[in-house]
Amino acid sequence: MKDQVPRHAVLIALTARAQATASLLTRHRTFKAAWISIALAVLYWGPIASDRYVSEARLVIDRTDSSSAQTVDFASILGGGRSGHDLLLLREYLLSVDMLKKLDAKLNLRAHYSDWHRDPLSRMWFEDASQEWFYRHYLSRVGAEVDDVSGVLHLSVQAYTPEMAKAIASFLVEEGERFMNSMGHRLAGDQVKFLEGQVAGIKERVLKARTAVIEYQNSKGLVSPQSTVESLVGIVSRIEGQLSELRAKRQIMLGFLSADAPDVFQINLQIAALERQLTREQGRLASRNGQPLNRVAEEFQRLQLEAEFSQDVYRTALVALEKGRIESTRTLKKISILQTPTLPEYPMEPRRIYNIIVFALSVLVLAGIIHLFVAIIRDHQD
């Protein structure tokens, strides 16, 4: 038993020494790897990384059509208005695959970004890379950001030569302006086609309404039933006035003459004739049988109102059509260049010192975290 106690003590001491040695080796290897990584980063971002020149441009969109004057509401303030929407559309087009294809066809962008003279980490590895990888590389070299406050599109392009950077930025500006104008003209053209179809339909409606009025006039033999009705009303009023006078005169004559007197008999004949005429004229105006003039006038007035309404609609459609044709021939949207694409003189990318400092700090922090984890594990084992 006496011999076993020292042996256990020796084993415990050897285990503790081995753990301390392993911790020291781990810490040493961790920080050694960290310093090697920092040295490699300094080597890459120092002499190896290829210079990339940045061309910048500032763009705004102006609307020259009459509809540009819009009311300012809360929604337009939050959303940046119509101009903000146009800038977002322009941004999406500049960063689209279609724009990449046009740039490649114009400037041979694949060959430039995959130039084997450039460092392998910043260039595209293969000129015949797939479209997806080419597009991803394009997005890493071209940036377009919209300033919601000022309504300005900030465009930045990176390339290995100043001339190529400016050429790419200039092509983006020109193609963006062409796209916005073509989209505005296409929308205006569609609107003109729609208005032309509406005008054609309304014209047919006007012709049918006018034809219906003429056919109704011919079928009734009246040019203006309303005027005829007004004339008949005037005749009925005059007959009623004459009847009233004759009846009053007859009452006076019966006061001193007999009912069989010739004068009274003559007045009775006049009254009977006027009553028959009154009945006939009133029957023309309104009756239960046949089609009286008041119904004819009402139907004619309805047809006339429909014809006049169709004519007013047709006039309005013609005005809208002419306005649409005028607007379709104008430049609806124009890209105004606040800053033309610059010809860079100094390579702003990569940011060598900044990248080295950030990378070194990140690696040292990571090494410190690993060392802390090792110390925690050692303490728990103890």
The CATH number for 119's domain is 3.30.1890
pLDDT of residue 156 exceeding 90: yes
For 9-18, 199-208, 277-286, which range has the lowest pLDDT when averaged over its residues?
9-18
Chain-centre distance for alpha carbon 42: 49
CB atoms closer than 10 angstroms to residue 344:
23
- Looking at residue 285, its pLDDT comes to 57
For the ranges 45-49, 94-98, 261-265, 268-272, the maximum mean pLDDT occurs at: 94-98
Q: How many CB atoms lie within 10 A of CB 343?
A: 14
Domain assignment present for 3: no
- What DSSP element (H or E) covers 158? strand 152-159
Is residue 154 situated within a structural domain? yes
Q: Report percent pLDDT > 90 for the chain.
A: 12
What tokens were used for 18? 């081995």
Model confidence at 55: pLDDT above 90? yes
Q: Is residue 308 part of a domain?
A: no
Tokens of 378: 């050692």
Contacts of 368 (CB under 8 A, 6+ apart): none
Residue for token digits 């590389």? 137
Q: Does 287 map to a domain?
A: no
137 occurs within a structural domain: yes
pLDDT of residue 221: 59
Closest CA to 70 of 88, 82, 85, 60: 82
Residues 95-113, buried b or exposed e (16+ Cβ, 10 A)? Answer: beeebbeebbeeeebbebb
* In-domain check, residue 67: yes
Instruction: Determine the average pLDDT of the residues in 231-251.
Output: 78
Q: Higher pLDDT residue, 357 or 82?
A: 357
- pLDDT category of residue 290 using cuts at 50, 70 and 90: very low
Has residue 1 got a pLDDT over 50?
no
Determine the Cα–Cα distance for residues 93 and 104; give it in Å rounded to an integer.
15
Say if pTM beats, i.e. exceeds, 0.95.
no
Q: Count structural domains, the chain.
A: 1
Closest CA to 229 of 182, 297, 289, 283: 297
CA distance 100 to 94: 8
Tokens of 281: 């004229």
Report whether pLDDT(42) > 70: yes
Q: Categorize the per-residue pLDDT at 13 as very low, low, confident or very high, splitting at 50, 70 and 90.
A: low
Q: Beta partners for 56?
A: 156
Give the model's pLDDT for residue 157: 93
Q: How would you classify residue 151: left for phi > 0, otherwise alpha for psi between -120 and 50, otherwise beta? A: left
Whole-angstrom distance, CA of residue 234 vs CA of residue 294: 14
Mean pLDDT of 12-40: 64
- Residue 50 to residue 176: CA distance in whole angstroms: 29
Q: 3-state class of 155 per DSSP?
A: strand
Residues 341, 165: Cα–Cα separation, whole Å: 9
From the number of C-beta atoms within 10 Å of its C-beta (0-12, 13-18, 19+), residue 299 rates as middle
Average pLDDT on 174-191 reads 76
At 20, is the pLDDT very low, low, confident or very high (cuts 50, 70, 90)?
A: low
Contact call for residues 113 and 139 (beta carbons, < 8 A): no
Confidence category of residue 323, pLDDT binned at 50, 70, 90:
confident
Q: Would you say residue 107 lies in a domain? A: yes
As given in the structure block, the two tokens for residue 86 are 């146009």
> Range of 169's domain?
53-193+329-353
* Residue 346 included in any domain: yes
For residue range 92-149, what is the model confidence (pLDDT) as tens digits? 999 999 999 999 999 988 889 888 888 888 888 888 888 899 999 999 999 999 888 8
Mean pLDDT of 323-344: 74
Output the pLDDT for position 68: 44
